[in-house]
Amino acid sequence: MSTAEMLVSTAQNLPRLLQMQRDSFMQGAPTYDERMRALATLRDSLRTHQEELLRAVSEDFGGRAREETLMLELFPLFDQIQHARSHLRSWMKRRWVRSSWFLLPSRAFHQYQPLGVVGVIGAWNYQVYLTLGPAVDAITAGNHVMLKPSEIAPRSAEVIARIVADCFPPEYVTCVTGGPEVASAFASLPFDHLFFTGSTRVGRMVMQAAAANLTPVTLELGGKCPAILHESYPMETAVHRIVSGKLFNAGQTCVAPDYVLLPEGKEAEFEARVRRRAASLYPELKENPDYTRIVSHRHFERLSGLVADARAKGARLVELASAEQGSLEEKVFVPTLVFNPTDAMGVMQEEIFGPILPVVTYRTLDEAVAYVNSRPRPLALYYFDEDMSRINHVLERTMSGGVTLNDCIYHLAQHNLPFGGVGPSGMGHYHGFDGFVTFSKKRAVMLQRRFSSMAVMRPPYKNRRRLFESLLKMALR
| pLDDT, tens only, 39-70 | 999 999 999 999 999 999 999 999 999 999 99
Q: What is the per-residue pLDDT across 266-301, written as a single tens digit (0 to 9) for each?
A: 999 999 999 999 999 999 999 999 999 999 999 999
What is the pTM (predicted TM-score) of this model?
A: 0.93
CATH number of the domain at 226-420, out of 3.40.630.30, 3.40.309.10, 2.60.40.420, 2.40.30.200? 3.40.309.10
DSSP states of 282-310: -S-STT-TTSPPPS-HHHHHHHHHHHHHH
378: which residues sit within 8 A by CB, 6+ positions away? 223, 224, 225, 226, 258, 372, 400, 401, 421, 425
Beta carbons of 177 and 146 less than 8 angstroms apart = no
Pick 469 or 262 by higher pLDDT. 262
Q: Taking the mean position of all CA atoms in its chain, how far away is CA 443?
A: 26
Residue 260: enclosing H or E segment and its boundaries?
strand 259-263
Question: How is residue 392 annotated by DSSP?
Answer: H
- pLDDT of 219 over the 90 cut: yes
CATH 3.40.309.10 region(s) of the chain?
A: 226-420
Nearest alpha-carbon partner for 226 in 371, 410, 72: 371
Q: What is the per-residue pLDDT across 324-350, written as a single tens digit (0 to 9) for each?
A: 999 999 999 999 999 999 999 999 999
Q: The domain 3-221+429-441: what is its CATH number?
A: 3.40.605.10
450: confidence class by pLDDT, cuts 50, 70, 90: confident
Mean pLDDT of the chain: 94
Angle between helices 75-92 and 127-140 (to 10 degrees): 10
3-state helix, strand, coil in the chain (%, to 5): 50, 15, 35
Q: What beta strand segments (E) does 305-398 contain? A: 316-319, 336-339, 356-362, 380-384
* Residue 175 falls in the annotated catalytic set: no
Nearest alpha-carbon partner for 215 in 120, 92, 150, 135: 120
Q: List the catalytic residue out of 220, 225, 271, 408.
A: 220
Angle between helices 127-140 and 32-48 (to 10 degrees): 160
* pLDDT over 70 percentage in the chain: 96
CATH 3.40.605.10 region(s) of the chain?
A: 3-221+429-441
3-state secondary structure of 92: helix
Q: List the catalytic residue out of 175, 225, 254, 408.
A: 254
Residues counted in the chain: 477
List strands edge to edge, sheet with 117-121: 173-175, 144-148, 117-121, 193-197, 217-220, 426-427
164: confidence class by pLDDT, cuts 50, 70, 90: very high
1: confidence class by pLDDT, cuts 50, 70, 90: very low
Distance CA 186, CA 194 (A): 10
272: which residues sit within 8 A by CB, 6+ positions away? none
9: confidence class by pLDDT, cuts 50, 70, 90: low
DSSP H helices, 313-425, are 365-373, 388-397
Distance CA 433, CA 393 (A): 29
The one-letter code for the residue type at 375 is R
- pLDDT of 468 over the 90 cut: no
179: which residues sit within 8 A by CB, 6+ positions away? 151
Residue 262: enclosing H or E segment and its boundaries?
strand 259-263
475: confidence class by pLDDT, cuts 50, 70, 90: confident
